Amino acid sequence: MPKGKKKGKYEHKRTEQGYSSDEDAGIDMTIDNMSETSGQSDLRSIHDEADAEIQEKFEEKVMETIDGLGARANAARAAAFVSLRAALQRRYLAPLLANHRATLADHLTKAIRRGKDGERKAAASLAPLLALQIGEEGTEEFMKEVRPALAACAVDKTASIETRTECCLSLSVVCYLLEEDLTEILEVMRMYETIFSGSYLKGVSQGDGSVKVSGQAVEQGALHAAALDGWALLLSLPPAEHAAALLRSSPPGLPRLADLLTAASLEVRMAAGGALAIAYECVLDTEAGDSAAEHVASLLPRLDELARDSHKFRAKKERKLQRATFRDILKYFEEETVPALAVRVGAERVQCGTWWARAAYGALAATLGAGLQALAPHSAALRRALGLPDAVATPLPKQKLNKLHRHLANNAADKARTVARGKNRDKRSAALAM
């Protein structure tokens, strides 16, 4: 059969359809018009439903984790503390945790006081996040239980250095954010001094000028530095006159802090430099400011030496870090200029223009981690510590959906489209049958 006739035959079949392409286009156009008016709201509702479902599953897992805090096995309890910390870093869960404040405080206190080393460390690292997540109404009771447990563990010589260091860090942040009793703050500062006093100089050998320190002080450098950082952070809380009187009457005072600049541990030397800067900043505008300035002037040669240290027996990374730190400190004492530090916390910008503000941000970032961004819009205490306004002036931009959110939302939207197409096909079939 000729190709032309065959082609014409099929063309004839295509023209013998019961409806035209214009009619088909009209049906599709009606559907498109419907999607323009309601598609966006439908998709938004689908996303909201997906978000609600994810939130519900997330809260169920959090409750399962809280139940795991009472497990019989020490390893299981430690894992539950780690999992709960990760969850609290991701989302603000104060409404969920409000009904479990007493239970959480009890689990945390028992773990810090009587748990094994891994459990104690995990519980101590959770304390600042939990203190900010349980809501302001339960803060006072939480502090009464957890603060003494952290302090006791920090001075417990049977605990590992890592656990004691974690307790020092968490205790300083908890007190800095939430403690209002000045007596308790001073008590914690005295406790810190008993810890880092292990790095005080025991004497100087004759001839070579080397520092005599015990091997234990070298091993505990990270612990002593954490205690010294905590002491300096809490020193910024009392009024300036009170801080000046404290430096005059109670250890360590400026002379002892200056001695720590020659400690064998790099961490202690840098912590001592930061503590000196904070102490000088606290008393600068008081009657003790002149004497503090004279004492600091006598330290400038030592600070300059640390800012130029090139001893080969120290690691290259340590030398670089020490020089960078003490260059900033030396510049502050010479010119009274603090290195600018501006960081973004979510959609907001935090400016750190003082040494104590830099120390506060460093401590908060180290203990809260990713939770700093999740909690900043909700916690009034955290916002005050960061120097942010009480209320966000401008609405925060809507955050992008993460991979799991997008996956669930797309699945829900695909299911809705499939159902809609099925209904439209039924309508089209009915139209063709007429």
**Lowest mean per-residue pLDDT among 116-125, 176-185, 400-409:** 400-409
Give percent of the chain above pLDDT 70.
Answer: 76
Q: For 164-187, what is each residue's pLDDT tens digit?
A: 999 999 999 999 999 888 999 999
Q: Are 123 and 108 in contact (CB under 8 A)?
A: yes
Tokens representing residue 27 in the block = 């049906």
Distance set, CA 406 to CA 54, 104, 115, 150, 402 (Å): 11, 33, 41, 41, 6
Q: Are 120 and 112 in contact (CB under 8 A)?
A: yes
Q: Please, what is the Cα angle at 65 between 59 and 67, to 5 degrees?
A: 110
More confident residue, 51 or 29: 51
- DSSP conformation class of 204: B
Q: Are residues 108 and 85 in the same domain?
A: yes
Q: Count of CB atoms within 10 A of residue 247's CB?
A: 23
- What's 60's domain CATH number? 1.20.930
For CA atoms 150, 154, 155, 161, the dihedral sign is positive
289-328 burial code (b ≥16 CB/10 A, e <16): eeebeebbeebeeebeebbebeeeeeeeeebeebeebbbb
Q: Where are the beta strands (DSSP E) in 309-394?
A: 341-345, 348-352
Return d(Cα 79, Cα 130) in angstroms, integer.
Answer: 16
Best CA proximity match to 61, nearest among 90, 40, 31, 24 = 90
Per-residue confidence (pLDDT) for residue 311, from 0 to 100:
64
- Could you tell me the pLDDT band of residue 190, with boundaries at 50, 70 and 90? very high
Q: What is the pTM of this model?
A: 0.77
Tokens representing residue 194 in the block = 């008993």
Q: How far is C-alpha 404 from the geometric centre of its chain's CA atoms?
A: 23
- Could you tell me the pLDDT band of residue 96, with boundaries at 50, 70 and 90? confident
**Domain total for the chain?**
2
Q: Are residues 190 and 323 in the same domain?
A: yes
Q: Are residues 253 and 167 in the same domain?
A: no
Q: What is the mean pLDDT of the chain?
A: 81
């800012």: which residue's tokens?
307
Q: Are residues 170 and 216 in the same domain?
A: no
Q: Are residues 214 and 313 in the same domain?
A: yes
Q: Are residues 185 and 333 in the same domain?
A: yes
Q: What would you report as the CA-atom Rg of the chain, rounded to the nearest whole angstrom?
A: 32
Average pLDDT over residues 111-120: 93
pLDDT at 28 > cutoff 50: no
Q: Are residues 210 and 314 in the same domain?
A: yes
Q: Are residues 70 and 107 in the same domain?
A: yes
Q: Are residues 164 and 276 in the same domain?
A: no
Per-residue confidence (pLDDT) for residue 146, from 0 to 100:
93
Domain that includes residue 228, residue range = 181-337
Q: Are residues 128 and 185 in the same domain?
A: no
